[in-house]
Chains A and B, each alone.
Chain A
Amino acid sequence: MSELVNTIIQGILIGGLYALFAAGLSLVFGVMRVVNLAHGDLIVTGSFLAFTATSILGIHAALSVVFVLPFMALLGYSIQRAILNRTVGTNVLPPLLVTFGIAIILQNGLLQIFTADDRKLDFGNIEIASMQIGNISIGWYSILVFVCAIAIIAGLQFISYKTRIGRVLRATADDPEVAQVMGVNTRHTFSVAMAIAMVVCGISAVLFAAWTSFTPLSGPSRLLIAFEVVVIGGLGSIWGTLIGGLTLGVAQAFGGYLNPAWQMLAGHIAFIIILVLRPAGIFKGQ
């Protein structure tokens, strides 16, 4: 019994991280109407960056964000500005195909550089330390990850609703043409949105890289998680995204509890069931 409770708590805690994966995807979709198929591979790129920074400089894994975040912001901004802006506002196909192309390039580029070996970031003692409540033990690292995730989601919420850039992003999402007529440089705004999304990805990339191991081929599974969370939570609500993340985390944890090989499968199946029952997601229409 306590093992089951443990599993579910673990699922909730990783759910926060899944919500972070999804927050970036949904921000980009909200503003540009583009589903970024390279999202997962960009996250994995962040993980490799963290790995490289830590192993070359010998710094603590957590410090690698100092390199990862600016790099990711820059990468996101440039990809958007140089490539994706040319596809905004066309029909759905061009942005999908172009981001798919980027995904394949990133994946195979990483494969060339880093080979297909498993890597993992090492956060040190915090990874094994845990808190004991009765029969239940909760790892401090999981708690750290969850707290970071909530803080970042709250931060995104703050940016969206309390800052000028957030206002401009929401206005551009509503009506890019009129935003431009008001003086907004929409190409820049789109690129900023992508940069913010990539910073969020960078943080989740570092946190996840210590949670479980990764290879250059891990991108698609990150993308699918992010996507499932967005659909489960319903588009356009950041708290919905959090609910979506927790749902998926718990579903996976429960599946893994029944049979370790069912973890991913359980997540996908939960997604399909919710899709059949509530096509608009569980958070919409409540």
Chain B
Amino acid sequence: MPNYKIERNEKYHTGVLIGFGVLLVFLVLLPFWGDKSTMRLATEMAGYLALAVMWNLLAGYAGVMSIGQQAFVGVGGYAVFTLAGLWGVPLIPSILLAGLVAGLLAIPVGLILFRLNGAYFAIGSWVMAEIFLLLTAQSDYLGAGSGMSFPTAVAKSFGNSTERAALFWWIALAIVIAALLIAYLWLRSSRGLALTAMRDDEVAASGLGVNVMRNKLQVFLVASAVAGLVGAILFLGKLRISPTSAYDVNEWTANIIFIVVIGGLGRLEGAVVGTIIFFLLRGFLADFGSYYLIILGLIAILTMLKMPQGVWGLIYDKTQIELFPLKRKIVN
């Protein structure tokens, strides 16, 4: 009997690893070479990247097309304002709890929404986010429609504004690394195969013994927890939160979808490339008001129609490099 083995494409593996190492050192040291505004931008980028990685896992791998992730970003933001700001819980536990709350909320939400298929799930998730928004806006404790500011005294206890920027950056970096690692290890494991099988054919996958509902729920839970963490850290950085900014579908979902589509849906690297392209575009188009969203929308539509594999797909076709080796092939 011939001997088959499953191998991953690990071209330039060592080079890639060294590259990651250097980059990581460089990023960790950012507060020592970058100024406050660079740190804030980097924090925001990290947050977007973490959201994009998770949305890619949802839509690109598990076939769960959510347009409601802003619900969990908002919950995370409000949770951290309540815990750290109003109740005096220390910073790190507050942020972790914010992620936990968002993740736990995803369970009932998922159980209800997964009764809807494909496109219907998408809008259902949006309805859910609207419910979160309207409920939050009803709560006087959370500042109702006008929202709340993070108490200055508590903010000062985290350090002056530069120290805070550095602290938040490190936390954001940790969140995005965690998101990337989770996604990568998940997809490398047999669960990753199950996800892809589900996305390609739900019925066939469940016939092969894949528990579709449980897999979807797990991914949804993790993605929502990460959204909660991101909401927590990004709104801490802003020191202000309101229902419309916390549950903003354009900010937390449209942008993220565009990032993933332009970078490459169903490829981990796509989220990274997409995030970079997004921030470059936003920088260039900053003077044009909401035109940048129009242009972004156009680029995303064109990508979807003409280049559905995205920018990273194009790079991969040319070079066959995977930064996060996932492709399996059978060798004799």
The answer, yes or no, to whether B280 is at the interface (CB within 8 Å) is: no
Residue from A101, A224, A231, A272 with most neighbouring chain B CB atoms (10 Å): A101
A95 to B130, CA, bound (A): 23
Are A35 and B122 closer than 8 Å at their CB atoms? yes
Chain A residues 223-262 with CB under 8 Å of chain B are 223-224, 227-228, 231, 261-262
| A interface footprint on B114-144 (CB within 8 Å = 1, 0 otherwise) | 0110111011101110110011011000000
Are A104 and B134 closer than 8 Å at their CB atoms? no
For chain B, which range describes its interface: under 10, 10 to 19, 20 to 34, or 35 or more residues? 35 or more
| B interface footprint on A246-286 (CB within 8 Å = 1, 0 otherwise) | 00000000000000011011001101100110010000000
The answer, yes or no, to whether B301 is at the interface (CB within 8 Å) is: yes
The answer, yes or no, to whether B314 is at the interface (CB within 8 Å) is: no
The answer, yes or no, to whether A102 is at the interface (CB within 8 Å) is: yes
Are B119 and A96 closer than 8 Å at their CB atoms? yes
Tell me whether A108 and B301 are in contact in the complex, defined as CB-CB below 8 angstroms, given that A37-B123, A272-B131 are known contacts.
Answer: no
A109 to B288, CA, bound (A): 12
The answer, yes or no, to whether B67 is at the interface (CB within 8 Å) is: yes
Tell me whether A86 and B305 are in contact in the complex, defined as CB-CB below 8 angstroms, given that A101-B297, A265-B134 are known contacts.
Answer: yes
Contact of A97 among B131, B135, B137, B304 (CB under 8 A): B304
Chain B residues 127-183 with CB under 8 Å of chain A are 127-128, 130-131, 134-135, 137-138
A279 to B65, CA, bound (A): 19
Are A87 and B65 closer than 8 Å at their CB atoms? no
Of chain B, the residue at the smallest CB distance from A111 is B290
Are B257 and A97 closer than 8 Å at their CB atoms? yes
Are A261 and B257 closer than 8 Å at their CB atoms? no
Residues in A with CB closer than 8 Å to B27 are none
Are A101 and B304 closer than 8 Å at their CB atoms? yes
Tell me whether A98 and B305 are in contact in the complex, defined as CB-CB below 8 angstroms, given that A104-B294, A108-B294, A220-B249 are known contacts.
Answer: yes
Residue from B65, B112, B138, B304 with most neighbouring chain A CB atoms (10 Å): B304
Chain A residues 74-90 with CB under 8 Å of chain B are 83, 86-87
Residues in A with CB closer than 8 Å to B65 are 92-93, 96
Are B249 and A112 closer than 8 Å at their CB atoms? no
Are B130 and A101 closer than 8 Å at their CB atoms? no
Residue from B119, B135, B257, B289 with most neighbouring chain A CB atoms (10 Å): B119
The answer, yes or no, to whether A94 is at the interface (CB within 8 Å) is: yes
State how many residues of chain A have any CB contact under 8 Å with chain B. Answer: 41
Tell me whether A100 and B116 are in contact in the complex, defined as CB-CB below 8 angstroms, given that A35-B122, A268-B131 are known contacts.
Answer: no
Are B294 and A105 closer than 8 Å at their CB atoms? yes
Of chain A, the residue at the smallest CB distance from B137 is A261
Residues in B with CB closer than 8 Å to A264 are 130, 134
A105 to chain B minimum Cβ distance, whole angstroms, is: 4
Are B301 and A83 closer than 8 Å at their CB atoms? yes
The answer, yes or no, to whether B45 is at the interface (CB within 8 Å) is: no
The answer, yes or no, to whether B265 is at the interface (CB within 8 Å) is: yes
Of chain B, the residue at the smallest CB distance from A224 is B127
| A interface footprint on B50-68 (CB within 8 Å = 1, 0 otherwise) | 0000000001000101010
B267 to chain A minimum Cβ distance, whole angstroms, is: 14
Chain B residues 289-318 with CB under 8 Å of chain A are 289-291, 293-294, 296-298, 300-301, 304-305, 308
Residues in A with CB closer than 8 Å to B63 are 93
14 additional A-B pairs beyond A112-B291, A272-B128, beta carbons within 8 Å, are A86-B305, A96-B65, A98-B304, A101-B258, A101-B304, A102-B297, A105-B294, A105-B297, A224-B127, A227-B127, A231-B120, A261-B138, A265-B135, A272-B131
Sample of 30 A–B contacts (CB below 8 Å): A35-B123, A37-B67, A83-B301, A87-B304, A92-B118, A92-B119, A94-B305, A94-B308, A95-B119, A96-B118, A96-B119, A96-B122, A101-B258, A101-B298, A101-B300, A104-B294, A104-B297, A105-B301, A109-B294, A220-B249, A224-B123, A224-B130, A227-B120, A227-B124, A227-B127, A265-B138, A269-B131, A275-B115, A275-B116, A279-B116
